[in-house]
């Protein structure tokens, strides 16, 4: 079968596959077949039902003993109505044993602080599990530094990113070093390695290729850490990577793209660009003062700034010339006022030599920083700009 289809570059039919399987089974007195996670077989075009029917047909023709596992789905249960069934439920004791076992066996390559923190999420509502996860965290203090660093950075992105990231976006984000001028492909980690060092606290959706925390309670756990060291450290890391590094890559120093085709090529070639452009202000807001020197250098670079403004302002709906609809002559204060970055707005207004560099300047659409602040309800920015204009 393989030789025939490989030469013809074709795929065998379902009947063809089961015909071969039946032929093989007939050579044995008894054959055991295990189908795990049957519910994960998509029932598109009735494929899952076809698979079940073929397996039952195989049983009728040969001595095949079938064992299948599945979540409770009525359509599947009906297919196995006449079969012996066993309902399996997890107990708290089982969960504890499951969590502690893998952690102990992966001490040489699993995250420590991050993994442990994430594990703690599962213990919501259970003091016993909290204690178990805390003990696991302490045991994982012996984590290898390189693996622990990768896990910490990966969980920072997954937890604090402004939207869900694809595996490619995350891999590119983790490859960035603050000293880089371009993305080094040699630094791009394999997604399987990322999942491994995160101690299976993250998972990948096969259909969307989105990487996320394994359970909603994981996100809730990190939410309870807001204000803690790990929270502020996460935003500092993301703010530093998103602005002075990635958005300042040499490839963006040519400024905005001249047409739709060039803009779309830029997005395609720079996987993490669109996300960085849209999210940097949100990550920098909690740590404005700490990262101000990096942010100001970026905001005062006309070409880099223009490149980012194009990405931020361009509509998701494509039409002829859509990529050039962004307002030209946009200044740093326009953007910082728009996103309520009070400290950066103040620093930009002062400027390097005490000059006002655009408190009342208009962009290509006739908007001023003050109008942006007023439109978005940023009272502190409005007062700051009014004071600057009146002096």
Q: Which of 88-92, 161-165, 245-249 has the lowest mean pLDDT?
A: 88-92
Q: Indicate the burial class of 386 (C-beta count within 10 angstroms; 0-12, 13-18, 19 or more).
A: middle
pLDDT at 328: 82
Q: How confident is the model at residue 283 (pLDDT cuts 50, 70, 90)?
A: confident
Q: Which of 241-255, 272-286, 352-366 has the lowest mean pLDDT?
A: 352-366
Query: 222, 118 in Cβ contact below 8 A?
Result: yes
Q: Using the predicted structure, report yes or no on whether residue 114 has a pLDDT greater than 80.
A: no
Query: 171, 194 in Cβ contact below 8 A?
Result: yes
CB atoms within 10 A of CB 117: 24
pLDDT at 250: 92
Tell me the two tokens of residue 28. 């044995």
Query: 314, 263 in Cβ contact below 8 A?
Result: yes
pLDDT at 25: 92
pLDDT at 261: 94
| Cα–Cα nearest to 333, from 322, 316, 347 | 347
Q: Which long-range contacts (CB under 8 A, 24 or more apart) does 285-291 make?
A: 285/339, 285/340, 285/341, 286/232, 286/235, 287/232, 287/235, 287/236, 287/239, 288/341, 288/342, 288/343, 288/344, 289/343, 290/236, 291/236, 291/239, 291/240, 291/243
CB atoms within 10 A of CB 234: 26
Instruction: Return the SS3 of 242.
Output: helix
Q: Which of 3-12, 201-210, 317-326 has the lowest mean pLDDT?
A: 3-12
What distance in Å separates the CA atoms of residue 347 and residue 289, rounded to the nearest whole number?
A: 10
Stretch 188-211: mean pLDDT, rounded?
Answer: 84
The residue ranking higher by pLDDT, 80 or 233, is: 80
| Cα–Cα nearest to 144, from 218, 104, 197 | 197
pLDDT at 128: 44
What CATH superfamily is the domain 228-390? Ankyrin repeat-containing domain (1.25.40.20)
pLDDT of 212-230, one tens digit each? 987 666 666 565 545 454 4
What distance in Å separates the CA atoms of residue 234 and residue 368, rounded to the nearest whole number?
A: 32
Stretch 158-180: mean pLDDT, rounded?
Answer: 88
Q: Using the predicted structure, report yes or no on whether residue 94 has a pLDDT greater than 70.
A: no
How much is the pTM? 0.60
Domain ranges of the chain: 2-79, 92-219, 228-390
pLDDT at 139: 40
């Amino acid at each position: 079968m393989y030789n025939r289809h490989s030469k013809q570059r074709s795929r065998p039919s379902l009947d063809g596959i089961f015909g071969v399987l039946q032929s093989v089974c007939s050579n044995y007195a008894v054959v055991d077949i295990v189908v795990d996670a049957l519910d994960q077989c998509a029932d598109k075009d009735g494929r899952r039902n076809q698979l079940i029917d073929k397996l039952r047909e195989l049983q009728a023709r040969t001595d095949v003993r079938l064992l299948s596992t599945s979540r409770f789905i009525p359509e599947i249960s009906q297919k196995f109505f006449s079969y012996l069934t066993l309902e399996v439920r997890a107990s708290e004791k089982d969960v504890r044993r499951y969590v502690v076992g893998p952690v102990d066996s992966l001490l040489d390559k699993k995250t420590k602080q991050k993994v442990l923190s994430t594990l703690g999420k599962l213990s919501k509502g259970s003091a016993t599990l909290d204690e178990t996860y805390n003990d696991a965290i302490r045991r994982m203090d012996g984590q290898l530094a390189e693996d622990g660093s990768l896990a910490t950075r990966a969980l920072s992105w997954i937890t604090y990113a402004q939207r869900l990231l694809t595996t490619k976006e995350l891999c590119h984000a983790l490859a960035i070093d603050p000293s880089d001028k371009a993305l080094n492909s040699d630094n791009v980690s394999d997604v399987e390695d990322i999942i491994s060092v995160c101690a299976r606290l993250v998972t990948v959706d096969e259909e969307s290729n989105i990487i996320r925390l394994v359970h909603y309670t994981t996100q809730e756990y990190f939410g309870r850490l807001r204000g803690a060291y790990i929270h502020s450290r996460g935003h500092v890391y993301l703010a530093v990577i998103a602005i002075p590094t990635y958005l300042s890559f040499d490839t963006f120093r040519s400024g905005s793209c001249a047409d739709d085709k060039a803009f779309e090529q830029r997005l395609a070639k720079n996987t993490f660009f669109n996300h960085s452009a849209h999210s940097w202000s949100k990550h920098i807001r909690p740590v404005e003062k700490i990262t101000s020197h990096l942010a100001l250098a970026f905001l005062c670079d006309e070409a880099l700034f223009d490149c980012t403004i194009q990405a931020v302002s361009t509509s998701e709906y494509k039409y002829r010339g859509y990529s050039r609809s962004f307002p030209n002559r946009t200044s740093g204060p326009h953007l910082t006022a728009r996103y309520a970055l009070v400290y950066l707005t103040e620093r930009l207004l002062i400027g390097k030599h005490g000059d006002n560099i655009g408190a009342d300047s208009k962009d290509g659409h006739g908007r001023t920083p003050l109008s942006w602040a007023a439109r978005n309800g940023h009272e502190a920015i409005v007062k700051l700009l009014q004071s600057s204009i009146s002096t």
